[in-house]
Amino acid sequence: MKYVLTKSGDIILWSSVAELNGQDNLIYRIAKYLKQEYKVRDGVEIHLDKRIPIAAGLGGGSSNAANAIESLDQLWQLNLDLPVKERIAAMYGSDINFFLHGGTALGENRGERISPMDDIKIDNILLVNPGIAISAGTAYGAVELPVPGEAKLFDPLHPVATMFNRLEPAVRKLYPEVDRLLSELHDFGARKTMLSGSGSTCFGIFEDAKTAELCAANYAKKGYFTHITNTITRREYQRCFQS
C-alpha cells in the first residue's frame, strides 16, 4: 500500500482489483472517519496493490485496514496512541486489532481484545486457494459449536498438534472443493492441514521445504493461488508493518 498526501482534501482509493475501489472498502471508510473526526484538511491518494485472493480467509481486508489506521496517523500527523487506534479498529471489524500488533496473540471477546503471547515458529506452510470466495458471514452462520465436554484446547507448547479451526467442519460440508483440498494436502504428506480463517484458503504444514514445493507446483498447474511461507515474530511483523 502507498499513501500520497494531497492538498485537494479528497480521499481517492486506487486498487489493482477494480471491485475494491468503492467507498465501501474498509480503507476508504477508515480514511473518511479519521478525516472527519480529526478535522483533517489535507486529502490522500491510496494505492492498493492486491496480491492475495479476496474473501480467502487470509485477513487481507483487516490487515489493509490496520495499515490504513497506522499510515494515516503518520501521514496526517494525528499522533494517536495505541488505545485510540484499537478503539477505531474495533469499530470496523473484529480482527483488525490483531494486525496492529502481529506475532502470536490471544484474541478475546469478539477478537478485538488482544493479549500478546510468546512467538511460535513454524516453517514450510503451504497456502492453497481453490479459487472460490467464501464470505465470513456464511462461514460463521454455519459454525457448529461444541457440546459440553467436547471443547478443544490449543497448547502453545505443541502448536501443530493442537491447532484447530472451529469453522472448518461446517465449511467442509458447505464447500466440497474445500473438503477435497484438505484431504489432498493430507495425502500429499502434510503433517497438519487446516482451513485458514473462514476460507476458502487451506494450508498444509510440511516436514521439509522440498515436499511443500512439489505440492505447490501441483496446484499451481491447476491455476490455484499458492504460497509457501512461515510464521514471523512480533518484532519482524512490526518492522514490516511500519516500513
Given this model, what pLDDT does residue 201 score? 98
CA dist list (Å): 1 to 6, 36, 48, 60, 138: 16, 22, 5, 12, 28
Alpha helix ranges (H) inside the chain: 26-37, 60-75, 82-92, 98-101, 136-141, 159-162, 168-174, 176-187, 209-221, 234-241
Given this model, what pLDDT does residue 240 score? 87
The tally of CA atoms less than 13 A away on the side-chain side of residue 60 is 19
Distance CA(95)–CA(112), nearest Å, equals 6
Given this model, what pLDDT does residue 212 score? 98
Q: If we measure between CA atoms, which residue out of 52, 41, 91, 39 comes closest to residue 69? A: 91
User: 204-220 b/e with 16+ CB inside 10 Å = b?
Assistant: bbbeeeebbeebbeebe
What are 205's strand-pairing partners?
A: 125, 192
Given this model, what pLDDT does residue 111 score? 93
Domain ranges of the chain: 2-109, 125-229
Answer for the pair 122, 160: CB distance below 8 angstroms, yes or no. Answer: yes
Domain 2-109 has CATH 3.20.20.70: no
CATH topology of domain 125-229: Alpha-Beta Plaits (3.30.70)
Spatial CB neighbours of 174, under 8 Å, sequence gap ≥ 6: 138, 142
Given this model, what pLDDT does residue 242 score? 75
Given this model, what pLDDT does residue 241 score? 83
The residue with cell 502470536 is 104
Task: Tell me the pLDDT of the chain (243 aa) as tens digits.
Answer: 999 999 999 999 999 998 899 899 999 999 999 999 999 999 999 999 999 999 899 999 999 999 999 999 999 999 999 999 999 999 999 999 999 999 999 999 999 999 999 999 999 999 999 999 999 999 999 998 887 777 788 999 999 999 999 999 999 999 999 999 999 999 999 999 999 999 999 999 999 999 999 999 999 999 999 999 999 999 999 998 876
> Residue 158 corresponds to which cell in the numbers above?
505443541
Tell me the backbone φ, ψ of residue 124, rounded to 5 degrees: 55, 50
Given this model, what pLDDT does residue 80 score? 98
The reply to whether 125-229 shares the fold of 2-109 is no
Distance CA(174)–CA(132), nearest Å, equals 12
Question: Is the model's pTM score more than 0.85?
Answer: yes
Given this model, what pLDDT does residue 19 score? 87
CA dist list (Å): 173 to 139, 143, 184, 188, 204: 11, 11, 16, 22, 19
Q: Letter for the amino acid at 165?
A: N
Radius of gyration of the chain (CA): 19
